[in-house]
């Protein structure tokens, strides 16, 4: 759970630098959802980064659910709820 509006902007740059695809969005309750697609090591690096968050973000919890790899995304972007 992340209660920080700017939280989803900085992950876009981080995800792109890792070559990841997918999306990130703010939920109405203030939490943030993300789907990551890419090499396992890059996904793990991104998850580690998300656990810390950008400066001034308060990360209370990161929940990870793995799925079988599929190529659904062409880039990494902000998605509306």
User: In the CATH scheme, what architecture does the domain 1-58 have?
Assistant: 2-Layer Sandwich (3.30)
DSSP per position, 12-71? HHHHHHTT-EEEEEE-TTS-EEEEEES-HHHHHHHHHHHHH-STT--B------------
60 is catalytic: no
8 A C-beta contact, residue 77 and residue 23: yes
The verdict on pTM exceeding 0.85 is: no
Other beta carbons within 10 Å of 71: 8
Q: Among 26, 60, 77, 79, which one carries the catalytic annotation?
A: 26
pLDDT, one tens digit per residue, over 9-50 is: 788 999 999 999 999 988 888 788 999 999 999 999 999 999
26 is catalytic: yes
Does the pLDDT of residue 3 top 50, yes or no?
A: no
């Amino acid at each position: 759970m992340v209660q920080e509006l700017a939280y989803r902007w900085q992950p876009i740059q981080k995800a792109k630098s890792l070559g990841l695809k997918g999306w990130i969005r703010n939920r109405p309750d203030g939490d943030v959802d993300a789907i990551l697609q890419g090499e396992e090591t890059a996904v793990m690096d991104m998850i580690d980064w998300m656990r810390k968050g950008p400066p001034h973000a308060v990360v209370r919890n990161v929940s990870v659910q793995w799925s079988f790899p599929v190529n659904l995304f062409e880039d990494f972007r902000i998605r509306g709820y």
